[in-house]
């Protein structure tokens, strides 16, 4: 066990106000260099959601406590610090030398929401709310990473105040008003739920936004509508989104009456305990990670914390609460998106490989029954299939390019160069119109520009699909494109308020943009496997990897390239197994995607069937009355 570092002194004894707190809900808002508007919007949405949850049954001023953890005051926005001081959440005078030399300082207070100096630019502030809320502001001496902030929040604050539920929210994420109430209801309905993932999406793209924001919006939406429900059906949700999630404290604390961690020695003693009896200690062991691969893995804190919970002694589940909606900020530049997805892709794969290493020990456990072990095995097989699907993306794209090229050549041979020329022209015009425009463009011109680009890409997709469908049997074309249509329908059902945006962006996303982006992002991620920096919010300086990291990067990239080259050879030489006109690579990837769509569709069909059977049992007069009420609403 490597020694944990950066946790020297977090003594809270000077803050006697902490002893008066007894919250049911503890909320962690991590702040680094976000603007005042981003922080205020997050707080306003959080307070509005807490207020609605209180109106639905949560009463008392001590029911909730908001902890803002500032990861280094030298990087924090000066307006954020000014707002916290003006609100009385931070002292206005200079701190004593002894206080300044500490790793972290805590400041407790109770404030009436309506009396806080909300800036007018921060959205609609709850100015008429006279309810008091407990606040804790933690100021770290410098940036020490998100895992260190979680050590302060979970290992110190939550261990000291012992809430029922803990929430993690990134500054810049805006949650909807019913979100916290939906999570509380979900916890009450599912006593085995150890943690809940929220339904997080990025901002919907506007007419001025280009392909970058459009892809991010569709990627978040598809994950929440298709892949997360599919994971839930297998029994294992692989991620608790760091933008917004909820954790049952007893599941993370291991059911122990644990003591707050006030020093590195106490943290070190805690991390020597078996992770199964103390999931939090297993999670915080990343503070002592020194090898390159361990540091890569612990960049995915939202996956490790879930893995530790499901491997604990007590049986817990990770569940998805689609009613808890949140909107997070999207990457503005391609370089920022590359660094973000480099961290996400590499760390998520490392976490899955780590979990595969616990597969056999899990099957040997005596505290798990045969159904639990079977479910865990199914979940691990599905995660392995997802990894293969991601790593096979270059071969799939190359095989699809060959298939489309053959279809275009066939079309040109039968009808001349007219339709291929129209296809290329519309594609070029769509790309040109997708370039982000200036924000001060007139509204009418911007709207027409967005409509024109959507029509161009829709025409390109229709021509491509028609050419490919005309090149192969109808059964093969249906197997290739029908799962995409069902996925679009599932996404529209899940996000009814954004259904028009989804319908406009879905054709280009599934047929053209997403395959290209997957290859682009994975290539960048693997080529920068040795980079263990955070990658966003200005934290772009690569940490020093160990000596084997660059060699490991080279070997992994070479293996990945050889693997896809072999798959491409199979796709071009081996005849299809089931569907004429395709090849084994396209068949395999299409089957995996169709399986994911079918797994996500199954809960919807089951709920519709149960609703239909329940309606059939209702008396005719009562059913008519319900229909009248529904029409009135």
Strands 174-175, 193-202: pairing is unpaired
Report d(CA 624, CA 621) in Å as an integer: 5
What is the DSSP code string of 53-115?
HHHTT--STTSEEEEEEES-TTTS-HHHHHHHHHTTSS-SSPPPHHHHTSSEEEEEEEEEGGG
pLDDT at 410: 81
Per-residue pLDDT of 433-456, as tens digits, reads: 777 655 555 566 667 777 888 888
Per DSSP, the three-state class of 211 is helix
Q: Does residue 624 have a pLDDT over 50?
A: no
Q: Is the pTM of this model over 0.85?
A: yes
Per-residue pLDDT of 10-41, as tens digits, reads: 444 434 455 566 788 899 999 888 888 889 99
Report d(CA 563, CA 157) in Å as an integer: 48
Report d(CA 307, CA 236) in Å as an integer: 9
Confidence of residue 121 (pLDDT cuts 50, 70, 90): very low
Full strand arrangement of the beta sheet holding 64-70:
104-112, 132-140, 64-70, 25-31, 165-170, 244-248, 193-202, 317-328, 174-175
Q: Does residue 554 have a pLDDT over 60?
A: yes
Name which of 368-382, 412-426, 450-464, 476-490 the model is least confident about. 412-426
Q: Where are the beta strands (DSSP E) in 462-585?
A: none
Q: Which two tokens stand for residue 476?
A: 């093969």
Q: At what angle do helices 584-617 and 547-573 cross, to 10 degrees?
A: 90
Q: H/E element holding 171? A: none
Strands 244-248, 193-202: pairing is antiparallel
Per-residue pLDDT of 492-522, as tens digits, reads: 999 988 999 899 889 989 988 999 999 999 9
Per DSSP, the three-state class of 319 is strand
What is the chain's alpha carbon radius of gyration, rounded to the nearest angstrom? 26
Supply the DSSP symbol for 17. Answer: G
What does pLDDT average to over the chain? 81
The label of the residue with tokens 């901002």 reads 203
Residue 339 CB contacts under 8 Å (≥ 6 apart), including other chains:
533, 535, 536, 540
Phi, psi (5° rounding) for residue 196? -125, 135
For range 391-403, the mean pLDDT: 92
Q: Which residues pair with 167 in a beta bridge?
A: 27, 246
pLDDT at 384: 93
For range 381-396, the mean pLDDT: 92
Q: Does residue 61 have a pLDDT over 50?
A: no
Confidence of residue 630 (pLDDT cuts 50, 70, 90): very low
* Most confident of the ranges 66-75, 558-567, 615-624: 558-567
pLDDT at 268: 66
- Give the closest residue to 487 by CA, choosing from 506, 512, 465, 468: 506
Cα distances (Å, whole numbers) of residue 245 to 184, 209, 310, 478, 531: 12, 28, 16, 38, 27
């Amino acid at each position: 066990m490597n020694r944990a570092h950066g946790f020297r002194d977090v003594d809270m004894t000077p803050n006697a106000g902490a002893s008066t707190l007894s919250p049911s809900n503890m909320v962690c808002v991590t702040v680094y260099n976000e603007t005042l508007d981003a922080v205020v919007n997050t707080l306003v949405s959080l307070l509005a959601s807490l207020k609605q949850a209180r109106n639905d049954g949560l009463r008392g001023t001590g029911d909730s406590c908001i902890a803002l953890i500032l990861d280094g005051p030298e990087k924090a926005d000066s307006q954020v610090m000014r707002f916290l001081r003006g609100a009385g959440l931070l002292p206005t005078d200079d701190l004593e030398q002894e206080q300044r030399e500490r790793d972290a300082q805590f400041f407790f207070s109770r404030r009436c929401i309506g009396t806080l100096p909300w800036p007018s630019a921060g959205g609609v502030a709850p100015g008429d709310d006279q309810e008091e809320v407990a606040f804790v502001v933690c100021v770290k001496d410098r940036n020490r990473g998100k895992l260190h902030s979680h050590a302060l929040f979970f290992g110190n604050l939550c261990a000291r105040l012992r809430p029922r539920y803990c929430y993690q929210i990134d500054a810049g994420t805006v949650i909807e008003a019913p979100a916290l109430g939906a999570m509380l209801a979900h916890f009450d309905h599912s006593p085995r739920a150890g943690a809940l993932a929220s339904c997080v999406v990025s901002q919907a793209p506007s007419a001025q936004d280009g392909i970058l924001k459009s892809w991010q919006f569709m990627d978040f939406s598809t994950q929440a509508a298709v892949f997360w429900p599919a994971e839930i059906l297998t029994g294992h949700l692989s991620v608790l989104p760091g933008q917004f999630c909820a954790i049952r404290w007893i599941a993370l604390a291991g059911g122990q009456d644990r003591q707050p961690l006030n020093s590195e020695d106490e943290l070190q003693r805690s991390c020597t305990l078996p992770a199964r009896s103390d999931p939090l200690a297993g999670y915080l062991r990343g503070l002592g990670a020194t090898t390159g691969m361990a540091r890569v893995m612990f960049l995915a804190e939202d996956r490790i914390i879930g893995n530790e919970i499901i491997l604990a002694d007590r049986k817990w589940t990770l569940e998805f609460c689609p009613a808890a909606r949140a909107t997070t900020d999207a990457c503005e530049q391609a370089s920022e998106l590359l660094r973000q997805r480099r961290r996400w892709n590499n760390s998520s794969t490392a976490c899955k490989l780590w979990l595969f290493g616990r597969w056999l020990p899990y099957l040997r456990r005596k505290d798990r029954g045969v159904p639990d072990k079977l479910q865990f095995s199914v979940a691990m097989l599905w995660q392995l299939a997802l990894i293969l699907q991601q790593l096979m993306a270059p071969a799939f794209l190359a095989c699809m390019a060959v298939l489309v090229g053959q279809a275009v050549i066939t079309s040109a041979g039968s009808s001349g160069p007219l339709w291929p020329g129209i296809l290329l022209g519309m594609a070029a015009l769509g790309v040109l119109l997708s370039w982000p425009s200036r924000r001060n463009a007139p509204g009418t011109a911007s709207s027409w520009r967005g409509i024109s680009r959507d029509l161009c890409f829709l025409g390109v997709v229709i021509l491509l699909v028609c050419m490919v469908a005309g090149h192969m049997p109808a059964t093969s074309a249906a197997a290739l494109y029908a799962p995409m249509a069902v996925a679009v329908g599932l996404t529209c059902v899940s996000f009814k308020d954004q259904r028009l945006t989804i319908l406009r962006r879905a054709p280009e996303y599934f047929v053209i943009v997403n395959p290209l982006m997957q290859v682009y992002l994975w290539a960048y991620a693997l080529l920068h496997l040795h980079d263990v920096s955070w990658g966003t919010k200005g934290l772009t300086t690569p940490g020093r990897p160990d000596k084997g990291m660059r060699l490991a990067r080279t070997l992994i990239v070479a293996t990945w390239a050889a693997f896809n080259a072999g798959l491409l050879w199979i796709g071009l030489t081996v005849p299809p197994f089931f569907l004429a006109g395709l090849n084994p690579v396209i068949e395999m990837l299409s089957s995996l995607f169709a399986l994911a769509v079918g797994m996500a569709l199954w809960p919807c069909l089951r709920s519709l069937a149960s609703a239909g059977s329940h309606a059939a049992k209702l008396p005719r007069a009562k059913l008519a009355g319900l229909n009248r009420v529904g029409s009135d609403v």
